[in-house]
Amino acid sequence: MRMSNGNNALPKEIPYVSIIIPAYNAEQTIERCLRSVSEQSYHDWECIVINDGSTDNTGRIIRSFAEKDKRIRELAQVNSGVSTARNNGINLATGELITFLDADDYLNLNYLEKLVTLQTQYQTDLTMCEFTNFTPGEDRRDRRDILDNDLYGEGEDAFWQFFPIFLWNGKKQRPGGPVCKLYKRKIIQDNNIIFNKDIHYNEDFLFNIWYFQFVSSFYYLHESLYNRLLHETSAVHRYNSDIYIEVEKLFIDYRHLRDRFKWNCAADRMFFLHLLTDLPFNLYICRSENKMRYRDKRNEYFAFIRKPGIYDEYKKITLKDGMGLKSKVKFLLLKSKQFYLLKMLYSK
């Protein structure tokens, strides 16, 4: 790995916030991203950009910003994936707080000012805001409200005030992965919280629920300060013929955390229903790239459901778990093995 900035030296003073940006072949968006950082109304930060083996002009653009602003540094590494990039950024961070930003995205210019003000006022372990999705060219913008109002929680019940909402809030969206949040670096490092590099779906979700176990206070700001690019090349949109392997890896890690910290709630079972339906049907079963015969798709899917461990969790899901209408439909079709109707539900 190679670290550089414009002056080949670290900032002289320890900043309050470390901004971590993983970047791979992001020449089309990294300039907008870094400009939104450098023009923040709050100034006490450092920015570590992990250049994950880019083969385009990403590195040159990062270095041009670093030459102008000593708070921006580049870490050049062999292509290792977004989880390794984020973990390396955490190891290099010196700020009391950490926030993550993706190279495709950008911040409102008051993002840090508003979140840091709340964090210092309430002394929170986790501070969050809403986000807005946008498409390339910004021809469509879609604000993703997780809650309807600000929410503050503290004490022993802080985890249970927010965790069920984060895990499954009855809406399609959850609170934005690791972005649009301020974490305490000490909590991350003292508890060895990392992104699992072997999981390629919801690895950021696992990072968050691991972190949440150690949160004694949080503030959720009902205001969108983060802008997230939606594009078809991201992992959550790509066809994946290994989706059952990926879902099982995610399930095993999730169950390990759940059993370790002993939580049990309806939202937990709703998240599992999501794993069993949304990922396989959206990324594999209903995709035109999948040339398997209908009968083979059906047999493969229900063989996965019957796997030890998977089937045990599947049996725990009930209609009493506070489902929305769409979840009820998915659940009833799954229970009655109506594979064709499930497939129609997800077909575009």
Dump pLDDT digits (tens) for 243-282. Answer: 899 889 888 888 888 888 877 777 778 888 888 898 888 8
pLDDT grade for 7, boundaries at 50, 70 and 90: very low
Query: Which of 44-48, 177-181, 198-202 is the least confident region?
Result: 198-202
Structural domain boundaries in the chain:
2-229, 243-346
CATH architecture of 2-229: Alpha-Beta Complex (3.90)
- The pLDDT assigned to 126 comes to 95
Query: Which of 86-95, 122-131, 155-164, 220-229 is the least confident region?
Result: 155-164
- The pLDDT assigned to 2 comes to 57
Measured at the alpha carbon of residue 142, what is the angle toward residues 210 and 144, in degrees to the nearest 5? 30
Query: Which of 3-17, 57-71, 99-113, 148-162 is the least confident region?
Result: 3-17
DSSP designation for 248: H
> In 3D, which of 216, 222, 192, 228 has the Cα closest to residue 91?
192
Q: In the predicted model, what is the mean pLDDT of residues 190-199?
A: 92
The residue written with tokens 């049990």 in the block is 264
Please, are residues 3 and 73 in contact by the beta-carbon 8 Å criterion?
Answer: yes
Q: Enumerate residues 6+ apart whose C-beta is below 8 A from 53.
A: 24, 77, 78, 79, 80
**Does the pLDDT of residue 133 top 70, yes or no?**
yes
Please, are residues 20 and 98 in contact by the beta-carbon 8 Å criterion?
Answer: yes
pLDDT grade for 8, boundaries at 50, 70 and 90: very low
Q: In the predicted model, what is the mean pLDDT of residues 56-64?
A: 96
Q: In the predicted model, what is the mean pLDDT of residues 35-44?
A: 97
- Rounded to whole angstroms, how far apart are CA atoms 188 and 174? 21
- Rounded to whole angstroms, how far apart are CA atoms 197 and 192? 14
Among 54-68, 202-216, 264-278, top mean pLDDT goes to 54-68
- Rounded to whole angstroms, how far apart are CA atoms 67 and 4? 10
Measured at the alpha carbon of residue 227, what is the angle toward residues 55 and 36, in degrees to the nearest 5? 70
| CA quadruple 270, 262, 190, 124: dihedral sign | positive
> In 3D, which of 111, 50, 61 has the Cα closest to residue 83?
50
Between residues 207 and 161, the one the model is more confident about: 207
- The pLDDT assigned to 347 comes to 83
- The pLDDT assigned to 257 comes to 85
Contacts by 294-298 with C-beta closer than 8 Å and gap 24+?
294/340, 297/339, 297/343, 298/339
- The pLDDT assigned to 11 comes to 47
Q: What is the pLDDT of residues 319-337, one digit of tens each?
A: 876 677 888 898 899 999 9
- Pair of tokens at residue 126: 């986790």
**Does the pLDDT of residue 283 top 50, yes or no?**
yes
